[in-house]
Chains A and B, each alone.
Chain A
Amino acid sequence: MSTILIIFCVLAAITLSTAFLTIFSRNPIHSALYLVICFFSIAGHYLLLNSQFLAIMHLIVYSGAIMILFLFTIMLMNLNKENEVHKPRITRLGAIVSFCLICIVLILVFINSKPIIGEYVHTGEDYQSIKVLGHVLLNEYMVPFEFASILLLVAMIGAVLLSKKEKTGK
C-alpha cells in the first residue's frame, strides 16, 4: 500500500464522514461547519490529483464564498436552534430506501462498465497548469466563459432584487 493510497483513503474517509455529519447534525451551524471540512477534504483530493489551481479555486469559491453565504443566511434567519421537527417515519424510510437503491444502481453501473476502463496512460504533457487552463479556457471555451460571467452578473442582480423586494414592499 503506497503512501498516496493511504492519503486517498484518509481523505475519502474524512469526506464521507463529514458529508454524513452534515446531513445528520441537528444544528444547521454544525452542518455548515462539517460541510466546510468536507470541502477542504475534496480540495485535498484535487491536490492529490495534481490540480493545484482547481484546488485553490475550490477553496476560494466553496469554502470561502459559498459557505460564508450559508453561514450568514443561517445567522440571518436565526436558525441555530435544534428545533427542526423530524419528518414522519414513512418519509425517512422512503429516503433510506431510495438512498440504498440509487447507491446500488449507480455502483452496479460502474461495476458493469469496468471492462471499458483501460490502461492508465501518461503522456507527460502539461495539461493542468494555470497556463494551459488559461489557454483552453480563453480559446476553445471563450464563449461559455463569457456566458458564465453574464450568468454570475444576472445571479447577483437577482439575489439583490429578491432580497430587496421585501423591503420595498413594506
Chain B
Amino acid sequence: MNLALLLLLAPFLGFLFNIFFGKNIGKTASGIIGTGTVVLSFALSIFFFLQINQSHQAISIQLFDWIQISNFKVDFGFLLDQLSILWLLFVTGIGSLIHLYSISYMHDDENMHKFFAYLNLFIFFMIALVIGSNLVVLFIGWEGVGLCSYLLIGFWHKNQDFNDAAKKAFIMNRIGDLGLLIGMFILGSLFSTLDYATLKTAIAGATDLNIYWISAAAFALFIGACGKSAQIPLYTWLPDAMAGPTPVSALIHAATMVTAGIFMITRLNFLFDLAPDVQNIIAIVGSITALVAATIALVQTDIKKVLAYSTVSQLGLMFLALGLGAYEVAVFHVITHAFFKACLFLGSGSVIHALHGEQDMRNMGGLKKVMGITFITFLISSLAISGIPPFSGFFSKDEILLVAFEHNKVLWFIASLASLMTAFYMFRLLYLTFFKEFRGTAEQKSHLHESPSLITFPLIVLAILATIGGLISLPTNSWLNAYLAPLFTKTATEAHHFGTTEYALMAVAVIGGIVGIAIAYAKYIKQNQLPAEDAAISGFAKVLYNKYYVDEIYDYLFVKSTNSLSRFFRDQVETTLSSLVFGLGKVTNEIAFQGKKLQSGSIGFYLFAFVLGLCAIVTYLFLAQ
C-alpha cells in the first residue's frame, strides 16, 4: 500500500519541488529531479507488474471513505489490476524516456523548471486516472491531465495562437467531460456506486436492468472518451495542440493522455457490452475518424500536424476495435502506437531542434546524411505505423483489421483504406524530410547537426520497442490476451483459428502498406515533387489542406452563434433591463422629490393631515365592517 502511494505521489513531489525550488537549483538539476521521480514510479510499476503477473490477483487499496450520502458511497482507493498496471508501465516508461529527452530538448528554455513541474504533475494525474478504483478518482485524474495539457500546450504563452490552441483544447475537453459526468451521474443513480468492482458485480447480478438507461450512460461516457481521445466530432483540438513543445506532443497528445478514453471504455467493458447500439456508434465513429483524419494528413505540410492527424487516425482505429468488442486488441494497439508514435514525435522534435524551430516539410530534406540515428529510428517507426512486418504496428493493426473483417466488411474496407493512407503519408513525411537535398536556408544548413545523446537515446529505446513490441501478442500465441483475460466478461480471447482468410487478410494489409509506400516513393523520389505552396493548392486537396473546413464550420456554428447571442443579450436585453432598473430608480427619485414638498414644515398642514388620517383609521376600524 505504501509503495502504491509512493508510486502515485513521487511525480507529485517532483512537481512540488520543481515549482517551488526549480528555479534556484539550475536547469539540469531540476530536469534530473523531474526525471528521477518518474523513473521511480516506473520502477515501482515494474515491481507491481511482476507481482501481478505472478499472482494474477488484482491489488485493491482503500485509502479512506470519501463521500457517503445515504446509500451512495465513494471510497478513495486504488485498484491495481492487469489493465491499470499495463497502462502504468507504458505511461511511466515512456514518460521517463520523454523526461530524459526533455532535459536536452528544453535546455534553452528559461522556464525549464516549470516545464518539468507540469510534466510531473501530468504524470501524477495520469497515474491517478489509471489506478483509481472508481470513476470519481478517474475523474480527478481526467480533469488533471486536461489541466496539464492546457498548461503545456500554452507553455510558450507569449504567442497568442498557442494560447488559443490551449484554450481550444481545454474547451473541447470540457464538452467531453460533461458527457463523462452525465454518464457518472446516471451510473451513480442506477447503482448507487461508482466503484468498478462493485459496478461489475451489480451489473452482472442485476436481473431487471433498464437497458435504455445503461445505453444512455454508455453513450454519455463515450462522449467523454471522444473529447479526451480526439474522435469526431471533438477531435479538432488535437492538431492545434501541437503548439506545445514537441515532448509534450509525444507524451500527452500521442502516447498517454489521448488513450485515457480507450482506458475508460476498456475499464467499463462490462457496461459497454450491454449496449450494442452504443458499440455500433463507437465503431462507426472510430472508423470515420480514422478515414477523415488520414485524408487530412495526406496533404498537410507541417511535420507535427501530419503526426497529429495520424494520431487521430490511429485512435480512430482503436475506437473501431473497442466498438467491435475487441478490447484487448485496442489495448494492444494503444501500446504499440504509444511506442512508435512517441518515437515519431520525438524524432520530429529532433529534426525541429536541428532546424531551430522549422516545422514546414517543404523547407526540409536531405537530413539522412547528417542525422543518421534520427533517420533510422524514424524509418523503423514509420514502417511500424505502416503495418509492415515484423514491426509491432503490423501485428496490432492486423488484428484490428481482422476483427473488423469478421464483423463488418464495410468497416474493414474503411480501416484498410485508412491504413493504406497512413503508409502513404508517413513515407511522404519521411521522404520529404530525410531524402533529396536540403531546401532550407543556407544559415540553417550550416547549423545542421545530429542531436545530442540525451535525445537520441530515447529514440533508440523507443525504436527497439516499436520493433519488438508486437511480440507481446502474436496472432497464434498471445501473451497479452491471456494476461488481460480476467478483465473481460466475454471470452473474446479464443485463439483465432488461422486459416486462409486470415492469411489473405494479412497479405492484403501488407500489400496495402507497401502500395502506400510505393506511391509515396513514386511521387516524391522518382518524380521529385514537392507539396505546393499554400496559395497554389486547389481542388479537393485544398479542402483536405484546410481540414474539411471543420474549424470554420465549428466557428460558424458555435462560436459565431454564441457571439451573436451574447451580442444580442448585451445590446438588446441588457439595455432594456438596465433602462428598466434605472427607470425604477428615476421614478423613486421623482416620487421622493415630489413627496418632499409635502413636508412643508407647516404645523397647520400637519395637523390637518393628522386629523384626516385619524378619520381614515377610525372609519376602517369601526365602520368598514
Chain A residues with CB under 8 Å of chain B are 87, 91, 94-95, 98, 101-102, 105-106, 108-109, 112-113
A102 to B615, CA, bound (A): 6
Known: A87-B604, A91-B604. A113 touches B622 (CB 8 A): yes
Which chain A residues border B612 with CB–CB below 8 Å?
A: 98, 101
B614 within 8 A of A: yes
**Contact across chains for A109 and B618 when beta carbons are under 8 A apart:** yes
Chosen A-B contacts, 23 in total, with CB atoms closer than 8 Å, are A87-B604, A91-B604, A94-B608, A95-B608, A98-B608, A98-B611, A98-B612, A98-B615, A101-B611, A101-B612, A101-B615, A102-B611, A102-B614, A102-B615, A105-B615, A105-B618, A105-B623, A106-B618, A108-B623, A109-B618, A109-B623, A112-B623, A113-B622
Contact flags (1/0) for B592-625 with A, using CB distance below 8 Å? 0000000000001000100110110011001100
Chain B residues with CB under 8 Å of A112's CB are 622-623
Interface residues on B, range: 10 to 19
Nearest-Cβ distance from residue B607 to partner chain A, whole angstroms: 9
Q: With A87-B604, A91-B604 in contact, is A105–B619 under 8 Å at CB?
A: yes
- Chain A at the B interface: mostly helix, strand, loop or mixed? helix
Instruction: For the A-B complex with A109-B622, A112-B623 known, give 20 more contacts whose Cβ atoms are closer than 8 Å.
Output: A87-B604, A91-B604, A95-B608, A98-B608, A98-B611, A98-B612, A98-B615, A101-B611, A101-B615, A102-B611, A102-B614, A102-B615, A105-B615, A105-B618, A105-B619, A106-B618, A108-B623, A109-B618, A109-B623, A113-B622
Contacts of A106 in B (CB 8 A): 618
The minimal Cβ–Cβ distance linking B424 to chain A, given in whole angstroms, is 103
Task: Report Cα–Cα, A108/B612, bound state, in Å.
Answer: 16
CA of A102 to CA of B614, assembled, Å = 8
Residues on the B chain within 8 Å of A87, using CB: 604
Name the 7 nearest CB pairs between A and B, nearest first. A109-B622, A98-B611, A105-B615, A101-B615, A105-B618, A94-B608, A102-B615
Query: What residues of chain A lie closer than 8 Å to B623, measured between beta carbons?
Result: 105, 108-109, 112
| Cβ distance B614 to chain A, nearest Cβ, rounded Å | 7
- Inter-chain contacts of B619 with A (CB < 8 A): 105
Q: Identify the closest chain A residue to B621 (Cβ).
A: A109
Q: How far is the CA of A1 from the CA of B604 in the complex (A)?
A: 43
> What distance in Å separates the Cβ of A54 from its nearest Cβ neighbour in chain B?
27
CB distance from B336 to the nearest CB of A (A): 100
Taken together as a complex, chains A and B put the C-alpha atoms of A108 and B615 apart, in Å, by 11
Alpha-carbon distance A109/B612, docked complex (angstroms): 16
A91 and chain B: residue at smallest CB distance: B604
Alpha-carbon distance between A134 and B503 when the two chains are bound, in angstroms: 128
- A7 to B415 alpha-carbon distance, docked (Å): 125
Task: Write the nearest CB–CB distance from B603 to chain A, whole angstroms.
Answer: 12
Query: Least Cβ distance of A169 to chain B in Å?
Result: 24
In angstroms, Cα B604 to Cα A87, docked, is 10
What residues of A have a CB within 8 angstroms of the CB of B618 in the complex? Answer: 105-106, 109
Q: Look across to chain A and name the residue whose beta carbon is closest to the beta carbon of B619.
A: A105
Contacts of B622 in A (CB 8 A): 109, 112-113
A65→B619 CA distance, assembly (Å): 37
* A91→B609 CA distance, assembly (Å): 12
Q: Which residues of B contact A98 (CB under 8 A)?
A: 608, 611-612, 615
State in angstroms the CA–CA spacing of A91 and B600 once bound together: 15
Q: Distance (Å) between the CB of A58 and the closest chain B CB?
A: 26
Write out the residue numbers on chain B whose beta carbons fall within 8 Å of the beta carbon of A95.
608
- Closest chain-B Cβ to A87's Cβ sits at a distance in Å of 7
Distance in Å from the Cβ of A86 to the closest Cβ of chain B?
13
Q: Which residue of B lies closest to A101 (CB)?
A: B615
Give the distance in Å from the alpha carbon of A7 to the alpha carbon of B571 in the complex.
85
What is the minimal beta-carbon distance from B349 to any residue of chain A, in angstroms?
96
A87 to B612, CA, bound (A): 19
Within the complex, what minimum Cβ distance (angstroms) separates A98 from chain B? 5
Q: Which residues of A contact B608 (CB under 8 A)?
A: 94-95, 98
Per the bound structure, the CA–CA distance linking A49 and B612 in Å amounts to 33
Smallest beta-carbon distance A103→chain B, Å: 10
In the assembled complex, the Cα of A43 lies from the Cα of B29 at a distance in Å of 111
Chain B residues with CB under 8 A of A94:
608
Chain B residue numbers with a CB within 8 Å of A108 are 623
CA distance A101 to B614 in the complex (A): 10
A83–chain B nearest beta-carbon distance, Å:
19
Q: With CB as the reference atom, state the residue of chain A lying closest to B617.
A: A105
Q: A106: shortest Cβ distance to chain B, in Å?
A: 7
A140 to B608, CA, bound (A): 39
From residue B259, how far is it (CB to closest CB) to chain A in Å?
89
* A-chain residues with CB within 8 Å of residue B604 when the two chains form the complex: 87, 91
Q: How far is the CA of A71 from the CA of B612 in the complex (A)?
A: 32
Could you tell me the distance between the alpha carbons of A102 and B619 in the complex, rounded to whole angstroms?
Answer: 10
Q: With CB as the reference atom, state the residue of chain B lying closest to A99.
A: B611
B156 to chain A, nearest CB (A): 83
Q: Which residue of A lies closest to B604 (CB)?
A: A91
Give the docked Cα–Cα distance between A113 and B618 (Å): 13
Q: State in angstroms the CA–CA spacing of A101 and B622 once bound together.
A: 15
Closest to A88 in B: B604
Min Cβ gap A51→B in Å is 28
How far is it, in angstroms, between the C-alpha of A109 and the C-alpha of B622 when the chains are bound? 6
How far is the CB of A119 from the nearest CB of chain B, in Å?
Answer: 23
Minimum Cβ distance to chain A for residue B602 (Å): 9
Question: A residues within 8 A CB of B611?
Answer: 98, 101-102
Q: Quick one: closest B residue to A95, CB to CB? A: B608
Chain B residues with CB under 8 A of A105: 615, 618-619, 623
Q: How far is the CA of A101 from the CA of B609 in the complex (A)?
A: 13
CB distance from A116 to the nearest CB of B (A): 11
- Which residue of A is nearest B612, CB measured? A98
Of listed A87, A91, A98, residue having the most chain B CB within 10 A:
A98
Q: How far is the CA of A78 from the CA of B612 in the complex (A)?
A: 34
